[in-house]
A and B are shown apart, each in its own frame.
Chain A
């Protein structure tokens, strides 16, 4: 392997490519904050970043953020307000895309961050939902970033914290959700996307130095591929340069 970038860097840049110019994006924490910054500096200079704590930003924060509530995310913000005002944009159908992470995801893109095992007697109590269900339910597109391991990408999650396509097909619509759903799952090995009438997650792109067999072996369902499967393009020098500007100390990419 002679890449001049790390896997984290590839994931961040792949996430940045999911953001289109002029879109309003629910940014979330950790990697997506950095991805938003890269998108703004490259192909999406007019994107708007929304943070559920009550922050709206145009320019990415200039200093390191541990959380969306830190000072650097508020200095020079477009709007600092309350949660209802920002998440209300989402509920009102005014948000194009949102990022969330996940401990466990299933083949229809449903995410569990709440309970492993039985709700009344859980094997593991995970921290819970935060604003992820609201983003998953109401954003036009949902982009999920997580590590690709067999015990994380499962056939069916124990508990749906944040809805993907539920049982597949038009189940979202039947449950009362107008549209949306996952458009991409970006992992450290690949990018999965919904495909076909069931909206089951399919392998859409494999990262450089990863094989289809290896990716299938690390997925908890019989992972199929889209017809136009491709290799994830390596980060361009421009993208890497933007990333190094945003994440000066390499906190999120090592």
Chain B
């Protein structure tokens, strides 16, 4: 067993038997959730905004009946709304919860307005301020000053944000102080990874890098598993090196119905259907039974989607030019 006892100064990630470099980390989502997520965990389910959301994990958290989770994300489309409806969530730390195609998140409304299925605590942020809070969490800073939420009532309704004067200015110059956010666990969808957790991501990434580095544990959901040489051939495309990754799950279309660049298109009708079906609590329960609880795993979910999933598969070809890393 590989044990190197040095602390990596960028974060609290420590090389221990929990973070081996050359050990196969492949496992199922069910195993990863069982091992790494607990009642009360703070969880990031994708942080790229509307793409690469690990809905396969959303489903598994519901199936394993996790409770009192703190969901941390700028925007995770309907993923957070599903978890709230299923009674898994105690707290939302984020900027936006709804349905990007349909508008409101009905479960979010029911929980915030009427405590159905349970009341939730909300810590409001803007996208940039939660990003900077995760940045602080990633790089060991206790807090970070942000200007872009001044004037917003976010600085009043979020109890952890403080206003102070810039100590370097002779004039009165207010700044908002946002404390670091350090999630317990981050799940991220990547286009390809090797079995050690080294991965390639391309396209826009939102806060994926900050949220992952800030998190105590990282689980990678790979659309494709490749040999380590493939990842090593282009290290500039790596957001998170494998040493910080705890588990790798091979799950094609783990992002459905959200898109994954070069792999899957957005299933926009799915979002509209969810919006329509979940208008009342009973409707959500029926939807959740059909699409989550009565389905054993993601493979069965893909089978249920059947040809619909095939129509979302990206079949075009627009590869980037190779980058030459030769040293001699």
A residues near B (Cβ < 8 Å) are 29, 51-55, 66-71, 74-75, 80-84, 87-88, 90-91, 114-115, 119, 122-134, 136-138, 159-163, 166, 172, 175-177
B50 A53 Cβ-Cβ under 8 A:
yes
A54 B147 Cβ-Cβ under 8 A:
no
The answer to whether A134 and B127 touch (CB under 8 A), given A123-B113, A125-B113, A128-B94, is: yes
A81 B101 Cβ-Cβ under 8 A:
no
Inside 8 A of B42's CB, which chain A residues have their CB? none
- In the assembled complex, how far is the CB of residue A54 from the closest CB belonging to chain B, in whole angstroms? 3
Inside 8 A of B126's CB, which chain A residues have their CB? 129-134
A-B interface pairs (CB < 8 A), number: 187
The answer to the question of B104 belonging to the interface, with a C-beta cut-off of 8 Å to chain A, is yes
CA gap between A119 and B206 in the complex, in Å? 28
Who on chain A is nearest to B53 by CB? A69
> How many B residues have CB within 8 A of the partner chain?
60
Who on chain B is nearest to A87 by CB? B128
CA gap between A87 and B204 in the complex, in Å? 13
Inside 8 A of A119's CB, which chain B residues have their CB? 153, 157
The answer to the question of B262 belonging to the interface, with a C-beta cut-off of 8 Å to chain A, is yes
Interface residues of B in 165-182 (CB under 8 A from A): 173-175
Who on chain A is nearest to B176 by CB? A176
The answer to whether A129 and B147 touch (CB under 8 A), given A81-B204, A83-B206, A162-B152, is: no
The answer to whether A69 and B105 touch (CB under 8 A), given A128-B97, A130-B126, A137-B147, is: no
Who on chain B is nearest to A162 by CB? B152
Inside 8 A of A70's CB, which chain B residues have their CB? 50-51, 259, 265-266
The answer to the question of B154 belonging to the interface, with a C-beta cut-off of 8 Å to chain A, is yes
Inside 8 A of A137's CB, which chain B residues have their CB? 147-152
> Secondary structure of the B side of the interface?
loop
B residues near A (Cβ < 8 Å) are 48-51, 74-75, 94-98, 100-101, 103-105, 108-109, 112-113, 124-129, 131-132, 135, 146-154, 157, 173-175, 202-210, 258-259, 261-262, 265-266, 268, 314, 318
Q: Which one of A71, A122, A159 lies within 8 Å of B153 (CB-CB)?
A: A159
Q: Which one of B75, B173, B174, B205 lies within 8 Å of A130 (CB-CB)?
A: B75
Sample of 15 further A-B pairs with CB below 8 A, known A51-B204, A69-B50, A87-B131: A53-B204, A70-B266, A80-B205, A81-B204, A82-B208, A84-B131, A114-B157, A119-B153, A129-B95, A130-B96, A137-B149, A163-B152, A175-B150, A175-B174, A176-B147
A129 B268 Cβ-Cβ under 8 A:
no
Who on chain A is nearest to B120 by CB? A125
Who on chain A is nearest to B209 by CB? A82
CA gap between A119 and B156 in the complex, in Å? 10
Inside 8 A of B129's CB, which chain A residues have their CB? 133-134
CA gap between A67 and B268 in the complex, in Å? 10
18 residue pairs of the A-B complex, CB under 8 angstroms, read A53-B49, A53-B50, A66-B101, A71-B259, A71-B265, A80-B205, A81-B205, A83-B207, A84-B128, A87-B148, A90-B128, A90-B148, A128-B95, A129-B154, A131-B126, A138-B147, A163-B150, A176-B173
CA gap between A181 and B152 in the complex, in Å? 13
CA gap between A83 and B100 in the complex, in Å? 18
Inside 8 A of A166's CB, which chain B residues have their CB? 151
CA gap between A119 and B135 in the complex, in Å? 28
CA gap between A70 and B268 in the complex, in Å? 11
Inside 8 A of A177's CB, which chain B residues have their CB? 147, 150-151
CA gap between A90 and B48 in the complex, in Å? 18
Who on chain B is nearest to A126 by CB? B104
Inside 8 A of B125's CB, which chain A residues have their CB? 129
